[in-house]
A and B are shown apart, each in its own frame.
Chain A
Amino acid sequence: MRFTPGAKVRARVLDPDHHIRLPRYVRGQVGEVIEAEGEGPLPDDRARGLMPPRVETVYAVRFRAAELWGTGTHSVTVDLWESYLEEVP
Protein backbone atom coordinates (compact mmCIF):
# COMPACT_ATOMS: atom_id res chain seq x y z
CA MET A 1 0.00 0.00 0.00
CA ARG A 2 1.66 3.13 -1.24
CA PHE A 3 -0.78 5.87 -0.26
CA THR A 4 -2.37 6.54 3.11
CA PRO A 5 -5.66 8.29 3.87
CA GLY A 6 -5.29 12.05 3.55
CA ALA A 7 -2.58 11.79 0.89
CA LYS A 8 -2.93 14.04 -2.14
CA VAL A 9 -2.67 12.07 -5.36
CA ARG A 10 -2.96 12.86 -9.02
CA ALA A 11 -4.78 10.56 -11.41
CA ARG A 12 -2.37 9.84 -14.25
CA VAL A 13 -3.15 10.86 -17.78
CA LEU A 14 -3.38 7.42 -19.34
CA ASP A 15 -5.05 6.69 -22.64
CA PRO A 16 -4.16 3.15 -23.66
CA ASP A 17 -5.68 1.27 -26.58
CA HIS A 18 -6.93 -1.39 -24.16
CA HIS A 19 -9.59 -1.40 -21.43
CA ILE A 20 -8.92 0.80 -18.41
CA ARG A 21 -11.07 1.71 -15.41
CA LEU A 22 -9.79 5.23 -15.05
CA PRO A 23 -12.69 7.53 -15.88
CA ARG A 24 -11.61 10.18 -18.34
CA TYR A 25 -12.97 13.06 -16.27
CA VAL A 26 -10.47 12.48 -13.42
CA ARG A 27 -7.36 12.06 -15.58
CA GLY A 28 -4.75 14.65 -14.56
CA GLN A 29 -6.82 15.77 -11.58
CA VAL A 30 -5.69 15.94 -7.95
CA GLY A 31 -7.75 14.27 -5.24
CA GLU A 32 -7.42 13.02 -1.69
CA VAL A 33 -7.16 9.39 -0.65
CA ILE A 34 -10.13 8.52 1.57
CA GLU A 35 -9.23 4.90 2.21
CA ALA A 36 -7.43 1.88 0.86
CA GLU A 37 -10.13 -0.60 -0.15
CA GLY A 38 -8.04 -3.75 -0.40
CA GLU A 39 -6.43 -5.40 -3.37
CA GLY A 40 -7.89 -6.28 -6.72
CA PRO A 41 -6.72 -7.65 -10.05
CA LEU A 42 -6.03 -4.92 -12.58
CA PRO A 43 -8.92 -4.76 -15.08
CA ASP A 44 -6.53 -3.67 -17.83
CA ASP A 45 -4.82 -7.06 -17.58
CA ARG A 46 -7.98 -9.10 -17.06
CA ALA A 47 -9.64 -7.58 -20.11
CA ARG A 48 -6.64 -8.56 -22.23
CA GLY A 49 -6.51 -12.07 -20.80
CA LEU A 50 -3.04 -11.54 -19.29
CA MET A 51 -2.41 -14.29 -16.77
CA PRO A 52 -1.89 -13.76 -13.98
CA PRO A 53 -3.18 -10.19 -13.88
CA ARG A 54 -1.30 -7.67 -11.79
CA VAL A 55 -2.87 -7.25 -8.35
CA GLU A 56 -2.90 -3.77 -6.87
CA THR A 57 -4.35 -1.84 -3.98
CA VAL A 58 -7.51 0.06 -4.90
CA TYR A 59 -8.09 3.45 -3.31
CA ALA A 60 -11.17 5.56 -2.84
CA VAL A 61 -10.04 8.99 -4.05
CA ARG A 62 -12.16 12.08 -3.48
CA PHE A 63 -12.14 14.91 -5.98
CA ARG A 64 -13.67 18.35 -5.46
CA ALA A 65 -16.18 19.44 -8.10
CA ALA A 66 -14.48 22.82 -8.35
CA GLU A 67 -11.27 21.01 -9.38
CA LEU A 68 -12.98 18.71 -11.86
CA TRP A 69 -15.39 21.13 -13.47
CA GLY A 70 -14.37 24.60 -12.32
CA THR A 71 -17.69 24.92 -10.54
CA GLY A 72 -19.81 23.15 -7.95
CA THR A 73 -19.50 22.43 -4.23
CA HIS A 74 -19.96 18.64 -4.25
CA SER A 75 -17.32 15.94 -4.22
CA VAL A 76 -16.93 12.87 -6.40
CA THR A 77 -15.26 9.78 -4.99
CA VAL A 78 -13.81 7.32 -7.49
CA ASP A 79 -12.25 3.90 -6.87
CA LEU A 80 -8.84 3.77 -8.55
CA TRP A 81 -6.11 1.14 -8.88
CA GLU A 82 -2.70 2.15 -7.54
CA SER A 83 -0.96 2.36 -10.93
CA TYR A 84 -3.56 4.94 -12.02
CA LEU A 85 -2.22 7.30 -9.33
CA GLU A 86 0.93 9.28 -8.71
CA GLU A 87 2.16 11.27 -5.74
CA VAL A 88 1.64 14.99 -5.64
CA PRO A 89 4.93 16.48 -4.50
Chain B
Amino acid sequence: MTGTAGHEELPVAARVRRLEERVIAAGLATDDELDEVLAGLFADASPVNGARIVARAWTDPAFRERLLADGNAAAAELGFAVSGYRLRVVANTTQSHNLLVCTLCSCYPVSLLGPSPSWYKSFAYRARAVREPRAVLSEFGVRLPEGVEISVWDASAETRYLVLPNRPAGTEGLAEDELARHVTRNGLIGTATV
Protein backbone atom coordinates (compact mmCIF):
# COMPACT_ATOMS: atom_id res chain seq x y z
CA MET B 1 0.00 0.00 0.00
CA THR B 2 1.39 3.38 -0.94
CA GLY B 3 1.05 6.69 0.82
CA THR B 4 0.51 5.32 4.30
CA ALA B 5 3.93 5.87 5.83
CA GLY B 6 3.71 5.93 9.60
CA HIS B 7 0.30 4.28 9.74
CA GLU B 8 1.45 0.65 9.80
CA GLU B 9 1.67 0.48 13.60
CA LEU B 10 -1.73 2.00 14.32
CA PRO B 11 -4.44 -0.30 15.71
CA VAL B 12 -6.59 0.51 12.69
CA ALA B 13 -3.91 -0.94 10.41
CA ALA B 14 -4.19 -4.29 12.20
CA ARG B 15 -7.96 -4.16 11.79
CA VAL B 16 -7.63 -3.42 8.08
CA ARG B 17 -5.18 -6.30 7.60
CA ARG B 18 -7.57 -8.67 9.39
CA LEU B 19 -10.48 -7.42 7.25
CA GLU B 20 -8.43 -7.92 4.09
CA GLU B 21 -7.65 -11.49 5.14
CA ARG B 22 -11.34 -12.20 5.71
CA VAL B 23 -12.36 -10.64 2.39
CA ILE B 24 -9.79 -12.75 0.57
CA ALA B 25 -10.68 -15.91 2.51
CA ALA B 26 -14.35 -15.41 1.66
CA GLY B 27 -13.45 -15.21 -2.04
CA LEU B 28 -14.87 -11.69 -2.40
CA ALA B 29 -11.61 -10.33 -3.84
CA THR B 30 -8.04 -11.38 -4.34
CA ASP B 31 -4.98 -9.76 -2.81
CA ASP B 32 -4.00 -8.45 -6.24
CA GLU B 33 -7.41 -6.92 -6.80
CA LEU B 34 -7.25 -5.12 -3.47
CA ASP B 35 -3.78 -3.81 -4.29
CA GLU B 36 -5.01 -2.63 -7.67
CA VAL B 37 -7.91 -0.69 -6.15
CA LEU B 38 -5.63 0.95 -3.60
CA ALA B 39 -2.98 1.77 -6.17
CA GLY B 40 -5.64 3.37 -8.36
CA LEU B 41 -6.99 5.35 -5.45
CA PHE B 42 -3.64 6.82 -4.49
CA ALA B 43 -1.87 6.91 -7.88
CA ASP B 44 -2.29 10.61 -8.62
CA ALA B 45 -3.67 11.65 -5.26
CA SER B 46 -1.83 14.63 -3.83
CA PRO B 47 -2.53 17.91 -2.07
CA VAL B 48 -0.65 19.51 -4.97
CA ASN B 49 -3.86 18.99 -6.95
CA GLY B 50 -6.01 20.84 -4.43
CA ALA B 51 -3.37 23.57 -4.23
CA ARG B 52 -3.51 24.08 -8.02
CA ILE B 53 -7.28 24.53 -7.82
CA VAL B 54 -6.91 27.08 -5.02
CA ALA B 55 -4.21 29.05 -6.85
CA ARG B 56 -6.39 29.24 -9.96
CA ALA B 57 -9.32 30.47 -7.88
CA TRP B 58 -7.11 33.17 -6.35
CA THR B 59 -6.03 34.46 -9.74
CA ASP B 60 -9.19 33.98 -11.79
CA PRO B 61 -12.41 35.38 -10.23
CA ALA B 62 -14.62 33.76 -12.87
CA PHE B 63 -13.06 30.35 -12.11
CA ARG B 64 -13.63 30.99 -8.41
CA GLU B 65 -17.34 31.56 -9.09
CA ARG B 66 -17.58 28.35 -11.10
CA LEU B 67 -15.63 26.44 -8.45
CA LEU B 68 -17.98 27.49 -5.67
CA ALA B 69 -21.02 26.73 -7.83
CA ASP B 70 -19.91 23.28 -9.09
CA GLY B 71 -16.68 21.85 -7.72
CA ASN B 72 -16.65 18.79 -9.98
CA ALA B 73 -17.00 20.82 -13.19
CA ALA B 74 -14.39 23.37 -12.14
CA ALA B 75 -11.90 20.66 -11.12
CA ALA B 76 -12.44 19.02 -14.51
CA GLU B 77 -11.39 22.27 -16.20
CA LEU B 78 -7.94 21.76 -14.68
CA GLY B 79 -7.86 18.11 -15.72
CA PHE B 80 -8.97 16.57 -12.44
CA ALA B 81 -11.68 13.99 -12.99
CA VAL B 82 -13.42 13.98 -9.62
CA SER B 83 -16.10 11.32 -9.79
CA GLY B 84 -18.06 9.16 -7.41
CA TYR B 85 -19.01 12.06 -5.19
CA ARG B 86 -20.09 15.66 -5.31
CA LEU B 87 -17.28 18.12 -4.64
CA ARG B 88 -18.33 21.17 -2.69
CA VAL B 89 -15.78 23.93 -2.19
CA VAL B 90 -16.31 26.22 0.79
CA ALA B 91 -14.54 29.58 0.82
CA ASN B 92 -13.00 31.27 3.82
CA THR B 93 -13.51 35.03 4.10
CA THR B 94 -12.21 37.63 6.54
CA GLN B 95 -15.39 36.95 8.56
CA SER B 96 -15.67 33.18 8.31
CA HIS B 97 -13.48 30.09 8.52
CA ASN B 98 -14.35 26.58 7.35
CA LEU B 99 -13.21 23.32 8.94
CA LEU B 100 -13.73 19.81 7.54
CA VAL B 101 -14.34 16.61 9.42
CA CYS B 102 -15.97 13.23 8.87
CA THR B 103 -17.30 12.18 12.26
CA LEU B 104 -18.51 8.78 11.03
CA CYS B 105 -15.27 7.72 9.33
CA SER B 106 -12.64 9.73 7.45
CA CYS B 107 -14.19 10.84 4.14
CA TYR B 108 -12.50 13.56 2.19
CA PRO B 109 -11.51 14.14 -1.45
CA VAL B 110 -8.44 11.87 -1.56
CA SER B 111 -7.53 12.65 -5.18
CA LEU B 112 -7.21 16.37 -4.40
CA LEU B 113 -5.73 16.13 -0.90
CA GLY B 114 -3.69 12.94 -0.96
CA PRO B 115 -4.07 10.23 1.69
CA SER B 116 -5.62 11.65 4.83
CA PRO B 117 -3.35 12.43 7.77
CA SER B 118 -3.67 10.04 10.72
CA TRP B 119 -5.03 12.78 12.99
CA TYR B 120 -7.92 13.33 10.55
CA LYS B 121 -8.99 9.73 11.23
CA SER B 122 -8.46 9.92 15.00
CA PHE B 123 -11.40 9.71 17.38
CA ALA B 124 -10.14 12.84 19.14
CA TYR B 125 -10.21 15.04 16.04
CA ARG B 126 -13.55 13.68 14.86
CA ALA B 127 -15.20 14.19 18.24
CA ARG B 128 -13.70 17.57 19.01
CA ALA B 129 -13.87 19.29 15.60
CA VAL B 130 -17.67 19.49 15.78
CA ARG B 131 -17.75 20.37 19.46
CA GLU B 132 -14.90 22.80 20.09
CA PRO B 133 -13.37 23.75 16.74
CA ARG B 134 -11.78 26.91 18.08
CA ALA B 135 -9.81 24.92 20.66
CA VAL B 136 -8.83 22.35 18.02
CA LEU B 137 -7.68 25.10 15.67
CA SER B 138 -5.58 26.74 18.36
CA GLU B 139 -3.80 23.40 18.87
CA PHE B 140 -2.94 23.50 15.16
CA GLY B 141 -1.56 27.01 15.74
CA VAL B 142 -4.52 28.75 14.12
CA ARG B 143 -5.80 31.62 16.22
CA LEU B 144 -8.72 33.32 14.59
CA PRO B 145 -9.91 36.80 15.57
CA GLU B 146 -12.90 36.70 17.95
CA GLY B 147 -15.44 37.84 15.38
CA VAL B 148 -14.62 35.17 12.80
CA GLU B 149 -17.42 32.62 12.58
CA ILE B 150 -16.43 28.97 12.23
CA SER B 151 -18.42 26.66 9.97
CA VAL B 152 -17.70 22.97 10.47
CA TRP B 153 -18.67 20.60 7.64
CA ASP B 154 -19.31 16.97 8.63
CA ALA B 155 -19.04 14.87 5.45
CA SER B 156 -21.71 12.33 6.38
CA ALA B 157 -23.09 11.56 2.89
CA GLU B 158 -21.79 11.59 -0.70
CA THR B 159 -20.49 15.16 -0.75
CA ARG B 160 -16.78 15.74 -0.21
CA TYR B 161 -15.52 19.14 0.83
CA LEU B 162 -12.51 21.30 0.06
CA VAL B 163 -11.66 24.56 1.80
CA LEU B 164 -10.69 27.55 -0.34
CA PRO B 165 -8.37 29.51 1.98
CA ASN B 166 -7.91 33.26 1.88
CA ARG B 167 -5.06 34.41 -0.32
CA PRO B 168 -2.20 35.44 1.96
CA ALA B 169 -1.23 39.10 2.14
CA GLY B 170 1.91 40.01 0.24
CA THR B 171 1.39 37.49 -2.57
CA GLU B 172 0.01 39.99 -5.08
CA GLY B 173 2.93 39.69 -7.49
CA LEU B 174 3.13 35.89 -7.52
CA ALA B 175 2.28 33.69 -10.48
CA GLU B 176 -0.20 30.87 -10.19
CA ASP B 177 2.36 28.08 -9.76
CA GLU B 178 4.18 30.07 -7.08
CA LEU B 179 0.90 30.68 -5.28
CA ALA B 180 0.12 26.97 -5.35
CA ARG B 181 3.28 26.27 -3.35
CA HIS B 182 1.88 28.35 -0.47
CA VAL B 183 -1.16 26.08 -0.10
CA THR B 184 -0.87 23.22 2.39
CA ARG B 185 -2.97 20.12 2.90
CA ASN B 186 -4.04 21.47 6.28
CA GLY B 187 -5.12 24.68 4.58
CA LEU B 188 -7.38 22.62 2.32
CA ILE B 189 -8.90 20.91 5.38
CA GLY B 190 -9.17 24.13 7.39
CA THR B 191 -6.63 23.28 10.12
CA ALA B 192 -4.29 25.96 8.71
CA THR B 193 -5.14 29.37 7.31
CA VAL B 194 -3.44 28.58 3.99
Contacts and interface: CB of A to CB of B under 8 A. Distances in A.
A65 B132 CA distance: 9
Given A21-B104, A72-B132, A75-B149, A38 B156 contact: no
A15 B157 CA distance: 18
A38 B156 CA distance: 14
A34 to B, nearest CB: 10
B156 A21 contact: yes
A60 B149 CA distance: 18
B154 A23 contact: yes
Contact of B157 (A37, A62, A69, A74): A37
B100 to A, nearest CB: 10
Interface string B152-170: 1111111100000000000
A78 B156 contact: yes
A79 interface: yes
A interface majority secondary structure = strand
A78 B154 CA distance: 5
Interface string A65-88: 100110011111111110000000
B150 interface: yes
B159 A79 contact: yes
Contacts of B149: 73-75
Interface in A26-49: 37-38, 40, 43
Given A21-B104, A23-B103, A38-B86, A77 B157 contact: no
A21 B132 CA distance: 22
B155 A79 contact: yes
Q: Which of B86, B88, B131, B157 has the most CB of A within 10 A?
A: B157
Interface residues of A, number: 24
Nearest to A24: B103
A73 B148 CA distance: 10
A58 interface: yes
Given A23-B104, A72-B132, A77 B158 contact: no
B85 to A, nearest CB: 10
A23 B156 contact: yes
Given A25-B103, A38-B86, A76 B130 contact: yes
A43 B107 CA distance: 15
B151 interface: yes
10 contacts: A22-B156, A37-B157, A40-B158, A65-B131, A72-B132, A74-B150, A76-B130, A77-B153, A79-B156, A79-B159
Interface of B: 86, 88, 103-104, 130-134, 149-159
